[in-house]
Amino acid sequence: MPEDELSRSSHSNPGKNLVNGIKTNPASSSPKSSLSVPMRPPVYVDLAYIPNHCSGKNTDPEFFKRVRASYYVVSGNDAANGEPSRAVLDALLEGKSQWGENLQVTLIPTHDTEVTREWYQQTHEKQQELNIMVLASSSTVVMQDESFPACKIEF
């Protein structure tokens, strides 16, 4: 392929061959192959929303190794679709265990689900070891005859 065609084709689909925002090798049989993903320094943020309602479809330990947040929001509330995913919550533990620094992390579930409750109880010791706090909210906001749980975060 001539260089100008190659250049045009790479610009026509900028999201092609990306896994968690990282360019992968299109010839690779596995998009998550560690050989195809260049090593880059992690990104530090205050707040990160776990993609796709905490579904295991596109969030893995690599996400938590690369996106290091003080607060992660878990919004899944659809057990039939695996949201939130226990595998993603476990991936947080695995990813955080490889940070090499014991920064405080707060997990903010937006819904009280069986998955998050079981994960919290079964991994509580590991959470404490990794300096992960799960924020439980007892606050409720009432707006126009609708009420929902609320959480206040201050930076």
Residue 154 lies in a domain: no
Instruction: Count how many Cα atoms sit within 13 Å of the Cα of residue 64 in the half-sphere of its side chain.
Output: 27
Predicted confidence (pLDDT) per residue in 79-98, tens digit: 677 668 899 999 999 999 99
Predicted confidence (pLDDT) per residue in 16-33, tens digit: 554 545 545 554 444 444
Range of the domain at 61: 43-149
What is the total count of domains within the chain?
Answer: 1
Predicted confidence (pLDDT) per residue in 36-72, tens digit: 556 789 999 999 998 776 767 778 889 999 999 999 9
Residue 32 lies in a domain: no
Mention every residue, 6+ apart, whose C-beta is less than 8 A from residue 63: 20, 50, 51, 91, 95
- Single out the residue of 125, 144, 142, 143 nearest to residue 134, CA to CA: 125
Q: pTM value?
A: 0.66
